[in-house]
Amino acid sequence: MDDIRALADDIFRDRIRRARSMSPGKKVLLGPELFDYACGITLSGIRAQNPDYTEEECRRELSRRLRIARRLDEAGLYHPVEAVE
């Protein structure tokens, strides 16, 4: 357990040190860039899992999975209300 903790600390330390040498703006833009990259990997997985799917069907499956991710992420946090405007 101590070894795992030490490894986790080393990884965290390395991420912080690398981040300190990057410009803040670049780090912010990496957020959406990494999201696009992750979507690309997920789409590849969907294509491999469903070779008969069209590109449109693959995209729909990606959207469905992201909707699930958002619902899990926001579970219990938001409630519908009357429009403000």
Cβ contact 42:68 at 8 Å: no
Binding flag, residue 7, another protein (CB under 8 A): no
Residues 6+ apart with CB under 8 A from 27: 19
24-53 footprint of another protein as x/- string (CB under 8 A): xxxxxxxxxxxxxxxx--------------
Nearer to another protein, 14 or 49 (CB): 14
64's tokens: 């469905």
Overall size of the chain counted in residues: 85
Nearer to another protein, 24 or 51 (CB): 24
CA neighbours closer than 13 Å in the CB half-sphere of residue 5: 2
Binding flag, residue 82, another protein (CB under 8 A): yes
Binding flag, residue 62, another protein (CB under 8 A): yes
Nearer to another protein, 6 or 49 (CB): 6
